[in-house]
Amino acid sequence: MIRRIQDADITAKRILVRVDFNAPMKSGQVSDATRLRAALPTIAYLREAGAKVILATHFGRPGGRRNPEMSLEPITALLSALIGHCVTFASDSVGEEARAAAANLSAGDVLLLENTRFHAGEEKNDPDFAARLAELADVYVNDAFSIAHRAHASTEGVARMIPAYAGLSLQREIDHVTAALESPGRPVLAVAGGAKVSTKIALLKNLVKKVDCLFVGGAMANTFLAARGHDVGASMKEAGLVETAGKIEKAAGAAGCALLLPSDVVVAKQFKPDPDHRVTGVEAVAADEMILDCGPQTVDRLAAAIAASRTLVWNGPLGAFETSPFDTATVETARYAARRCQENGLMAVAGGGDTVAALNRAGVSEDFTFVSTAGGAFLQWLEGKPLPGVDVLKA
């Protein structure tokens, strides 16, 4: 269990809220306000309770030095408009100006601190820097699951110094990913895609112990196909991990987890938009052909697995989805899963940058039970690794 802001005494208190406003910028303006919008419910909750809200976040990778190009001041006007209240800005995240700005807040006011990564102590989780953050507030709230896998001063260190709680956005993430892997409705199906086995070894090893069925797609399926003795032609594969793939499949069998791989694939001799391509069984890939997507038979098999499941966990596309027509398997499967969510009560939780992009391409992000934009933190959670920013909030 994690401590939640609903259980905290926040009235008239100064609340330091760790948000993730590391949003994409173009010509000095936020080009996608998704991360700012994610924090709005917690900010509204605190303001309505009469709290004084102090927002802390990083932006970019300034390397512990002040960089005007990575200042958060340009987002103040947009943030004010989103909140419906004038947000004040402090040109540092700690020190005299930050202390004075925090001390001058009235109930319902909002203060945005400058980029925490302008200080080397942030990423080093330096206790002195954490203490300087802690002195600004009475209570700490983490509302950014996307940085909860980082043991930084503003995500972990400060939470050890003043009463610490989870914000509404962080709670929502934790509740959904916990329900999907720790207390799911069974059977549980996991879909793992992407380019490289090497980036997802820990994920696959953990999933085979947690789920009833695991489908491996994307280019990393080629390494598993090779482990089964198939010649994948000119396809991307990691020859040095063929043995590892075989061991993961054996571990799946020992854990009672069915491991599914593509049985038919879409191949081409060139990787470019709309090249000459064909569908073939995995046993008949020519030496000069590349596997770039799953075939229709595989999509049907995966749809049947989804239909037989009560919970779906999805991380990674099934093919080279950015390039037509190799988005077909990902899009069709995503749309089928979305229908099962809407019509049959499937719990579908998905996350990861490419996964979010793929679901957006399919037009179904709003139809899944939950889609996490947390990226690395979501992957680390699926891997079964600790998240320092969450662990420090446990009751």
pLDDT at 132: 98
Check 35, 47, 117, 237 and give the catalytic one.
35
pLDDT greater than 80 at residue 353:
no
Bridge partners (DSSP) of residue 17 are 55, 141
Alpha-carbon span 236 to 21, nearest angstrom: 36
Distances (CA, A) of 334 to 122, 149, 177, 291: 39, 27, 18, 20
Cβ atoms of 155 and 148 within 8 Å: the answer is: yes
CATH says 5-171 is which class? alpha beta
- CATH 3.40.50.1260 for domain 184-382, yes or no, is yes
HSE (CB half, 13 Å, CA atoms) of 128?
Answer: 4
Check 60, 108, 353, 384 and give the catalytic one.
353
Distances (CA, A) of 41 to 19, 48, 128, 151, 164: 12, 10, 31, 25, 18
DSSP 71-135: -SGGGHHHHHHHHTSPEEEESSSSSHHHHHHHHT--TT-EEEE--GGGSHHHHTT-HHHHHHHHT
The structure's pTM equals 0.88
Q: Catalytic annotation on 376?
A: yes
pLDDT at 271: 93
Alpha-carbon span 40 to 36, nearest angstrom: 7
Q: What is the mean pLDDT of residues 8-37?
A: 91
Q: Catalytic annotation on 99?
A: no
Q: What is the mean pLDDT of residues 104-114?
A: 98
Q: Who's near 2: CB < 8 A, 6+ residues apart?
A: 165, 166, 171, 174, 390, 393, 394, 395
pLDDT, one tens digit per residue, over 277-310 is 999 999 999 999 999 999 999 999 999 999 999 9
Cβ atoms of 192 and 207 within 8 Å: the answer is: yes
pLDDT, one tens digit per residue, over 268-285 is 999 999 999 999 999 999
Cα torsion 385, 204, 293, 377 to 10°: value is 0
To which residue do tokens 């200042």 refer? Answer: 71
Q: Catalytic annotation on 210?
A: no
DSSP 227-296: HTT---TT----GGGHHHHHHHHHHHHHHTPEEE--SEEEEESS-SSS-SEEEEEGGG--TT-EEEEE-H
pLDDT, one tens digit per residue, over 64-81 is 999 999 999 999 999 999
pLDDT, one tens digit per residue, over 123-157 is 999 999 999 999 999 999 999 999 999 999 999 99
Check 196, 269, 310, 335 and give the catalytic one.
196
Q: Cis bond leading into 317, ω under 30°? A: no
Check 60, 246, 376, 384 and give the catalytic one.
376
Helices 220-227, 242-255: crossing angle, 10 deg rounding = 80
Q: Catalytic annotation on 256?
A: no
Residues of the chain with CATH 3.40.50.1260: 5-171, 184-382
